[in-house]
Amino acid sequence: MTAKSSKDSGKQPIKPEAGPTNIESEIKSGADIKYHARPKISDDQIKKEIEKTKTKLDTLKNKLIKKYKFIEAISVLPPQSIVKFEEEDAIFDVIPDENDRKKLIHVLVLTPEEQFKNFNKIKPEIVKMAKEIDKNIWIHMKTPVDVWNYGLDSKYDMLGAVATSFPVHDTGLLGALRVAEIHKSLVLQKFEKYVVSYVVAGSLVRGDATKTSDVDVFIIINDTDVKRMHRLELKEKLRNMIYNYVLDASEIAGVKNKLSPQVHILTEFWEAVKDANPVMFTAIRDGVPMYDRGTFMPWKALLKMGKLKPSPEAIELFMSGLKKTKDLVNRRLIDAMIDMYWGTVTPTQALMMLHGLPPPTGKGEIVKVMEDVFVKKEKMIEVKYLNFLKKIVKMWRDYEHMILNEVSGKEIDQLWKEYQEYAKRIEELKGQIEKKSSERTIEQLYNDIMNLLEGAFGKKSENEMVKTFEDEMIKKKKLPDFYLRILKDVIEARKKFKKGKMARHEVEEARKNGSLLINHLIDYNQRCELLHLDENKFKLKTKEGVYELVLTEKEAFVVGEDSIVKINVEDGKMRESSNEEMGKALGKEIKKELKISGKMFEILKKHFGEFELVI
């Protein structure tokens, strides 16, 4: 059938729909069929044909996978590559007619290399299954080794055909190869003149790639004609541009494999090979070129022949790694000991603060506090945990004083075991301290409130005190109703805590509210005391100046600007006094009404002469 132009036929060429499910576009594109005008075939008929082909391929896939679970990939080869695959498989004598050959759907089946010995048995069975589904399905059986040999034999178009084949089933190799092929094409479009080799390596070549495996590629760029740009600058610019294509390649390929390109300039790569860099040796030994301009394969051949040998300097450099590794490992073991030291000391200090103690700073001090308070006095922790604390602190001291320079792995294992036990016990001790602290908090809160109430209303029972507080403070509007509820809540909290029915947050709530009540009671008591003190104070006017006369039950104080004189009413003697002594006298409970006796007047007159009292 001769193709006609759209101008001759009067019709536009019919093109298949785009998209990943367009099997016909993958199979029937290229020189064999040039989308001839077919005016009598509708779009619906084309879609049905595509769906029919897809159904056949899915059926074939299901049958093959069911019987041969080891199959790694099944895909449809692109038409433009078929001739070379036919030549390789020598099938021209089977289908001599060119038109019949154009109707074939060429399917690639990849099996593990270990199955190659069974090809003579497996392939006829697969071909038979394919012919039962559609006589136009043609099977090409390969192993991953065959695929990599395309690169090693410089058959890059055939390697690219496998990479761009339409996947029907894939365990990882096709997707990874596809993203590398697309990335390679993008790089060559930009830098083809300078790309020496584009090499794939890593898990993909080793045969253990999955659908999410990284795809490792090496890109070697020729920098021998660089005249002005610094090579480091050149390498960074190339790396940035090539890395920009990674996301594009992944999106076009539609796979989850992450492409990991390593960009090397030619002079740097060759220098690294001379210095026996293991990365470069591995890349040359295991890598498969997807593109090469006659550089990579000679390197590979030289390596295989043993012609690429490291220099004596490179050997010595790598031998120096023995001491470096030993020092590095020892440093990490020391670091592990240091981490455990801080992981021991810091939470121990926190517990001491929780217990109400100032945080000890010295290494010896923390051990002493642990021993004196928690082991001997409180008996809250066992001696073996104190011994561990002593041990880790001593190791730290020895390290600080450069006595300890190495720690064995066995010592670290034992230290780690003991540290984990210590950490667990410290957590338990934290709970013990919190419980004891809560108990002290509730009890102290209760006692403080009751002592203040007793100072205001006298000694009474708990119930009587609550009743008096309500009558004298709440009902008389001296305090809001809220404070009566606080008082009852504190009393109830104390009872609940003793029964072990109170959570820590409830203790904190009682402490916060109780503090409000305490502050108000203190203010009230102080106001009462001030009123009481005002009743005991008089102004004493004399020729020498104005003084303040303060009376107590058995004595009196004359307060001047810079002196306080105490008068004993019973014996009539006067002597120097202080604010502290006067405060203590005023703080005593006065049991009877205070009066200024005649004897007091006589003492004052004798000392000051004429005077006046101003009430």
Q: What is the pLDDT of residues 311-320, one digit of tens each?
A: 665 566 567 7
Question: What does the pLDDT read at residue 10?
Answer: 38
The mean pLDDT value of the chain amounts to: 79
Weakest-pLDDT range from 67-71, 295-299, 490-494: 490-494
Q: How far apart are CA 144 and CA 42, in angstroms?
A: 41
Placement of tokens 């020496």 in the chain: 196
Q: How far apart are CA 200 and CA 180, in angstroms?
A: 8
Phi, psi of 516, rounded to the nearest 5 degrees: -60, -45
**pLDDT by residue (tens digit) across 216-266?**
999 998 887 766 667 777 778 888 888 888 888 988 888 888 888 988 888
Give the highest mean pLDDT range of 103-107, 333-337, 481-485: 333-337
What's this model's pTM, rounded to 2 decimal places?
0.49
**What CA–CA distances, in Å, run from 19 to 23, 166, 455, 494?**
9, 11, 91, 76
Question: What does the pLDDT read at residue 322?
Answer: 77
**Percentage of the chain modeled with pLDDT above 90:** 25
Per the CB < 8 A criterion, the answer to whether 73 and 110 are in contact is yes
Give the highest mean pLDDT range of 208-222, 331-345, 424-438, 553-567: 331-345
Weakest-pLDDT range from 156-160, 283-287, 432-436, 564-568: 432-436
Would strands 215-221 and 259-265 be described as parallel, antiparallel, or unpaired? parallel
* Per-state percent for the chain, helix, strand, coil, to nearest 5: 60, 10, 30
Question: Of the candidates 81, 59, 177, which has an alpha carbon nearest to the alpha carbon of residue 129?
Answer: 59
Question: Of the candidates 282, 254, 94, which has an alpha carbon nearest to the alpha carbon of residue 178?
Answer: 254
The stretch 350-357 carries a mean pLDDT of 85
Q: How far apart are CA 195 and CA 189, in angstroms?
A: 10
Confidence of residue 503 (pLDDT cuts 50, 70, 90): low
Q: What angle do CA 457, 460, 465 make, to 5 degrees?
A: 65
The stretch 180-200 carries a mean pLDDT of 90
Would strands 137-142 and 105-110 be described as parallel, antiparallel, or unpaired? parallel
Confidence of residue 5 (pLDDT cuts 50, 70, 90): very low
Q: Categorise residue 294: left if φ over 0, alpha if ψ from -120 to 50, beta otherwise.
A: left
- The Cβ of residue 215 has, within 10 Å, a number of other Cβ atoms equal to 28
Question: Of the candidates 168, 173, 180, 178, which has an alpha carbon nearest to the alpha carbon of residue 208?
Answer: 173
Asked whether the predicted pLDDT for residue 6 surpasses 50, the reply is no
Asked whether the predicted pLDDT for residue 550 surpasses 50, the reply is yes
Q: What angle do CA 39, 45, 48 make, to 5 degrees?
A: 155
Q: How far apart are CA 108 and CA 85, in angstroms?
A: 10
Give the highest mean pLDDT range of 93-107, 255-269, 353-367: 255-269
Question: Of the candidates 144, 189, 167, 213, which has an alpha carbon nearest to the alpha carbon of residue 291?
Answer: 189
Tokens standing for 144?
A: 């991953």
The stretch 544-553 carries a mean pLDDT of 80
Question: What does the pLDDT read at residue 535?
Answer: 59
Per the CB < 8 A criterion, the answer to whether 551 and 590 are in contact is no
The stretch 169-186 carries a mean pLDDT of 91
Cα–chain center distance at 346: 22
Q: Is 59 exposed, middle or buried (0-12, 13-18, 19+ CB in 10 A)?
A: middle
Helices 482-498 and 462-469: angle between axes, nearest 10 degrees: 160
Question: What does the pLDDT read at residue 448?
Answer: 83
At position 206, the amino acid (one-letter code) is: R
